[in-house]
Amino acid sequence: MSLNEETLRALKSELLDALEHNDAQQEPLAGRLAEIRSADIGQVLEEFIEDDEQLHAAIAILDVLSTERAANVLGYLPGESQLEVVGELSDTQVLKLLEEMGSDERADLFNLLDDDRREALLRRMAHQEREDLKRLASYEEGTAGAIMTSDYVAIASGMTVSQALMRVRQTAPDAETVYQLYVLDGDGELVGTMSLRQLMVARPGAVVDDIMIKDVIKTAVDKPQEEVARVVARYDLLALPVIDVDGRMVGIVTHDDAMDVAESEATEDIHKGMSIGQLEDGVSRVKLWSLYRKRVTWLVLLVFANLFSGAGIAYFEDVIASQVALVFFLPLLIGSGGNAGAQAATLMVRGMATGDVGVKDWSKMLGRELLVAGSLGLTMAIAVAPIGIMRGGEAVAVIVALSMVAIVLFGSLIGMCLPFVLERFKVDPATASAPLVTTLIDATGVLIYFTIATMILASV
Amino acid sequence: MSLNEETLRALKSELLDALEHNDAQQEPLAGRLAEIRSADIGQVLEEFIEDDEQLHAAIAILDVLSTERAANVLGYLPGESQLEVVGELSDTQVLKLLEEMGSDERADLFNLLDDDRREALLRRMAHQEREDLKRLASYEEGTAGAIMTSDYVAIASGMTVSQALMRVRQTAPDAETVYQLYVLDGDGELVGTMSLRQLMVARPGAVVDDIMIKDVIKTAVDKPQEEVARVVARYDLLALPVIDVDGRMVGIVTHDDAMDVAESEATEDIHKGMSIGQLEDGVSRVKLWSLYRKRVTWLVLLVFANLFSGAGIAYFEDVIASQVALVFFLPLLIGSGGNAGAQAATLMVRGMATGDVGVKDWSKMLGRELLVAGSLGLTMAIAVAPIGIMRGGEAVAVIVALSMVAIVLFGSLIGMCLPFVLERFKVDPATASAPLVTTLIDATGVLIYFTIATMILASV
């Protein structure tokens, strides 16, 4: 979600205006900014930053905010925009901002900086801070490690409930969440978890080990982020603890970050459904060269795949020459088959992604698709038959109606089965995109159509 | 996410086995069930319920669980399965379960029951409980009201911090979340909010009104659920308060429910991208008749839309008859244009859904698409030109290459612009589905291809 255009425009001009009339006490700008949510300020700044002439306005606004607030606002900006801002700031200013950012966002921004800047900043950090940042920045993008934060509340095994509560109060300002607590043993291994709710109703003298849940839902640092998001969603978690290869707890993925991952994974799936590769940024910001590359690969591959349809047509050139009216129905028939097949493929791919459909459901799904696609084919044949009579007489009508049933049925079965076949061979089922499926069905449809035509025309 | 098939199969046979050897003390089943998470038990039960012969096993397992746990497990089942279970239970048993369910899940289940059962249950409820249930059950599906829960922690304006903390401890077992607290005035109006974290570090004698945040992010009871989910995601909320038409607070939507909504909305968008209507249930469970209806509407509409392609072909029948080799490239050219156009449309529709693209970005997007689609068309023309030479000589190669550039460029622009046009006329931009876009491009492609062919063939 984002602010609607009117609100955004009004806010922009209001802030620019306030900026102009800003005095040494930074009124009225500071007062107005205090009333606006960080996410919304972020959106305004993003617009300012995109427009080179107003970059200075973005910097000036960040300057008026407290460092903590500025770090917060910065966290809402896309990486590219963060870089632009940081490019305008001194090392000292950047260090202050980094310090106030969440450890996950800090690592993300750090990863975007060039080597010189990184070195310069690292040199000025305290040892502990430096090691923490280097570690978090080292995890591969798209894994649990890359989206986790190390700002969680760790409770030492053996602590009492009142000691744990004290610890919660102390760490409250820095932790991403204080509502789920993690009990670690002397080696840093996660031995249990409890909610703050449990802690608050427990007897103050009790030992945390006696009230914690020992069977903790957790994930490994190298697990793909979409899997992490699904675990958080399935078990309705506030946060999911992350464990390194040695079994030590290294961070948590919070529910809000999991939700962001779910959204970007949905976008990726939707794009993949049209054979578009994973974009590094939103479609309005991603570099044109990258957008071209992510779209061109499959488009060109499918040009060659489409030659099969052409070859089919070439094979039947005589039939076509003798009855040119048949070409009238060609786009309609293969188009209809492609549409039905793309529907079937999409239903399976999404069903697999959400866990609604498993490989074991293959035969059940096949039976269902046979019935549904058969009915769809019949309905569409009835729709097209009268047009067949009008354009080419009864024989053509029969050819077109029969072809419609056959093409829609086969097309749907191809679309339905392809994701299962891909999954079986360990290929992402989402590769069964609409363009791939329709191309396959185009070729099949040409063969079916002209075979039926040849047979029926020969018999009349 | 769901359990993988092996785990699921093992768990099923283990539970069936335990069920068989269950004794009066309900060992070993009870012991084993205590170790399994509710979401996972839910998945096993769902399988049992789908298989009519094992419905009794599902009931027996629920019977072994405590009512609270059983209610929790029930909440993980799809509505249809919940109905099957409830059909096997007495009113007394159902009442007990309903009492332990979250108020939102209770209302959902209640809405699925038939009138007689509903009346019978309502008659046996306490007044307050009955009114609460009737109110929650009355909100339209797909709105904030339908997904909210009334189990939140309300703090009376004027309370001290220590009084508020006491209230948190008292309501902890029943509330969906105790981590975000809502301050209401005497009329039930929401005047502020605070996190438990804030409350815990505040001075015990302070009045909550002095520490609460007065500018609360909230939503109206009739707001569409996808908007609710987006607000939760944008502002990283644990819960979003819901207000009725009179300004009174009536419930909260929690982060986990918002995440579920986001997932089902993504599924809906993905289906819509293939012209499939909104399914009432997962694709593996939805009724076949419903699946047919949700797929057939657009398929039949597009059969008629495809007649335009046919009409185009009929218009050029003479050109085709004189140069049948041109038909060879027809599926390839209109297929390529359709693929590129569907990509462009999908990028815009998703960009609009996530807020990355707004109506105001139209001209910027057009410029970007011109460049990218032009490059794509050129690349694909280069790929197809040699085949043109092989199949039909130089003239055909020129025709095919020029057509490819023009069709891909026009197709992409149609695909890109259609969502903006729809949005402008207050139609859901997602209506610009791949099937609709490819059908439009098929017709355009036929015209472009044969017009270019006519011109070039006439000049040689």
Domain at B224, CATH number = 3.10.580.10
Give the span between the Cα atoms of B19 and B36, in whole angstroms. 15
b/e sequence B176-190, b meaning 16+ C-beta within 10 Å: bbbbbbbbbeeeeeb
Q: Give the C-alpha separation, A336 to A400, whole Å.
A: 12
The larger pLDDT score, comparing residue A281 to residue B42, is at B42
| Average pLDDT over every residue of B364-378 | 95
pLDDT at B460 over 60: yes
Q: Does residue A270 lie within any of the structural domains?
A: no
> B166 and B61, same structural domain?
no
Q: Is the pLDDT confidence value at A101 over 80? A: yes
Q: Which residues of chain A does B435 touch, with a Cβ-Cβ cutoff of 8 Å? A: 338-339, 342-343
The model's pLDDT over A354-384, given as tens digits with 9 standing for 90+, comes to: 888 988 889 999 999 999 999 999 999 999 9
Distance in Å, alpha carbon of B247 to nearest chain A alpha carbon: 21
Interchain CB contact of A302 with B (< 8 Å)? yes
Measuring CA to CA, how many Å separate A460 from each of A394, A455, B98, B347, B457? 11, 9, 69, 49, 35
How would residue B2 be classed by pLDDT, with cut points 50, 70 and 90? low
Percent of chain B with pLDDT over 90: 49
C-beta of residue B446 within 8 angstroms of C-beta of residue B309: yes
A363 and B CB contact within 8 Å? no
**Which residues from B are below 8 Å from A299, CB to CB?**
336, 339-340, 343, 376, 379-380, 408
Tell me what pLDDT residue B132 has.
84
Residue B269 lies in a domain: no
Residues A177 and A210 in one domain: yes
Nearest CA in chain B to A372: B292
B427 in reach of chain A (CB within 8 A): no
Contact A329, A453 (CB under 8 A): no
Please tell me if residue B370 touches chain A, with a CB cutoff of 8 Å.
Answer: no
Q: Which amino acid is at B401?
A: A
Cβ B145 vs Cβ B139: under 8 Å? yes
Mean pLDDT of chain B: 89
In a domain, B296, yes or no: no
pLDDT score for A26: 64
What per-residue confidence (pLDDT) applies to A343? 95
Alpha carbon of B304: minimum distance to chain A alpha carbons (Å): 8
Mean pLDDT of B269-282: 90
Domain with residue A96: its CATH number is: 1.25.60.10
Whole-angstrom distance, CA of residue A133 vs CA of residue A251:
13
Q: What percent of chain B clears pLDDT 70, i.e. is strictly above it?
A: 98
CA-based nearest distance A116→chain B, Å: 32
Beta carbons of B356 and A284 less than 8 Å apart? yes
Separation of alpha carbons A52 and A382, rounded Å: 59
Same domain, B79 and B190: no
Percent of chain A with pLDDT over 90: 49
For chain A, counts of helices (H) and of strands (E): 22, 6
B267–A354 C-beta distance less than 8 A:
yes
Do B171 and B256 lie in a common domain?
yes
Which CATH number covers residue B345?
1.10.357.20
Give the mean pLDDT of B39-49.
Answer: 89
Residue B144: predicted pLDDT: 94
Q: Are residues B374 and B446 in the same domain?
A: yes
**Between A and B, how many CB-CB pairs are < 8 A?**
349
Nearest CB to B380; choose among A282, A300, A371: A300
Residues A217 and A312 in one domain: no
Domain assignment present for B254: yes
Q: Does A321 touch chain B (CB under 8 A)?
A: yes
Minimum Cα–Cα distance from A385: chain B residue: B303
Residue A74's contacts (CB-CB under 8 Å, 6 or more residues apart) are A42, A62, A82, A85, A97, A101, A105, A109
Say yes or no for a CB contact (<8 Å) between B270 and A273.
yes
pLDDT 10s digits, B379-414: 999 999 999 998 888 899 999 999 999 999 999 999
Q: Is A174 on the interface with B (CB under 8 A)?
A: no
Residue among B259, B296, B371 whose CB faces A376 most closely: B296
Any chain A CB within 8 A of the CB of B314?
A: yes
The better pLDDT of the pair B3, A284 is held by A284
Q: Are B164 and B47 found together in one domain?
A: no
Residue range A229-283, pLDDT digits in tens = 999 998 999 999 999 998 899 999 999 999 999 998 999 999 999 999 998 888 8
Query: Are residues B214 and B239 both part of a single domain?
Result: yes
Which of the listed residues B77, B111, B138 is the one where a domain comes to its end?
B138
- Give A276's contacts in chain B (Cβ within 8 Å): 343, 346-347
Does residue B301 fall inside a structural domain?
no
Q: Chain B: give the shortest CA distance to residue A157, in Å.
A: 22
Q: What's the mean pLDDT in B342-355?
A: 92
Higher-confidence position of A189 and A103: A189
* Banded pLDDT at B176 (limits 50, 70, 90): confident
Are B348 and B387 within one domain?
A: yes
Chain B within 8 Å of A203 (Cβ-Cβ)?
no
Task: Determine contact: B367 vs chain A, CB below 8 A.
Answer: no
Bridge partner residues of A194 (DSSP) = A181
Mean pLDDT of B248-259: 94
Q: How far is B310 from chain A (nearest CA, A)?
A: 4
Contact B335, A306 (CB under 8 A): yes
Q: Assign A183 a pLDDT band (cuts: 50, 70, 90).
A: very high
B304 touches chain A (CB under 8 A): yes
pLDDT higher than threshold 70 for residue A23:
no
Question: Are residue A132 and residue A190 in the same domain, yes or no?
Answer: no
Residue A86 C-alpha, separation from nearest chain B C-alpha, in angstroms: 23
Q: Which pLDDT belongs to residue B285? A: 83
A341, A445: one domain = yes
Plot region of A289 (φ>0 → left; ψ -120 to 50 → alpha; else → beta): alpha
Q: Which domain holds residue B45?
A: 5-138
The one-letter amino acid code at B444 reads T
CA angle B309, B313, B314 (to 5 degrees): 115
pLDDT of amino acid A3 = 72
More confident residue, A347 or A6: A347
Helix (H) or strand (E) holding B11: helix B5-20
Nearest chain B residue to A200, by CA: B169
Mutate one of B283, B309, B333, B356 to test the A interface: name it (highest A CB count within 10 A): B283
> Over the stretch A143-158, which tens digit does the pLDDT of each residue have?
999 999 988 999 999 9
**Chain B hits for A217, Cβ within 8 Å:** 37
Evaluate whether residue B440 is within a structural domain.
yes
- What is the DSSP-derived secondary structure letter of residue B360? G
pLDDT number for residue A15: 84
Same domain for B134 and B10? yes
Say what the pLDDT of residue B128 is: 83
pTM over 0.90: no
- CB-nearest to A303 from B168, B234, B332 is B332
Tokens for A362, please give them: 């293959």
Q: What is the ipTM of this complex?
A: 0.85
Residues of chain A positioned with their CB less than 8 A from the CB of B282: 351, 354, 356-357
Q: Which of A264, A295, A324 is the last residue of a domain?
A: A264
The string of pLDDT tens digits covering residues A196-242 is 988 988 999 999 999 999 989 999 999 999 999 999 998 999 999 99
Whether the Cβ atoms of residue A283 and residue B351 lie closer than 8 Å to each other = yes
Of residues A414, A403, A408, the one with CA closest to residue A437 = A414
pLDDT at residue number A384: 93
- Higher-confidence residue: B15 or A183? A183
Rounded Cα–Cα distance for residues B62 and B41 (Å): 9
User: Which residue type does A280 have?
Assistant: E
Residue B120 forms part of a structural domain: yes
Which residue in A has a C-alpha nearest to residue B348's C-alpha?
A283
Neighbours of A459 (CB within 10 A): 7
CA B275 vs CA B234, B324, B417: distances in Å: 28, 34, 18
Tens-place pLDDT, residues A321-362 = 888 888 889 989 999 999 999 999 999 999 998 888 988 889
In a domain, A334, yes or no: yes
pLDDT at B24: 62
Q: Which of A115, A138, A161 is the last residue of a domain?
A: A138
- Nearest-5° angle of CA B305, CA B307, CA B309? 95
Contact A210, A157 (CB under 8 A): no
The answer to whether residue A357 neighbours chain B at the CB level (below 8 Å) is yes
**Angle of CA points A319, A324, A326, to nearest 5°:** 80
Task: Flag whether residue A439 sits within 8 Å of chain B, measured between CB atoms.
Answer: yes
Q: What tens digit of pLDDT does each residue of B188-198 get?
A: 999 999 999 88
> CA nearest A322 in B: which residue?
B321
The number of folded domains in chain A is 3
Long-range contacts of residues B404-407, Cβ cutoff 8 Å, at least 24 apart: B404/B333, B404/B336, B404/B377, B404/B380, B405/B374, B405/B377, B405/B378, B405/B380, B405/B381, B406/B377, B406/B448, B406/B452, B407/B333, B407/B334, B407/B336, B407/B337, B407/B377, B407/B441, B407/B444, B407/B445, B407/B448, B407/B449
pLDDT of residue A205: 93
Q: Is the pLDDT of residue B239 over 90?
A: yes
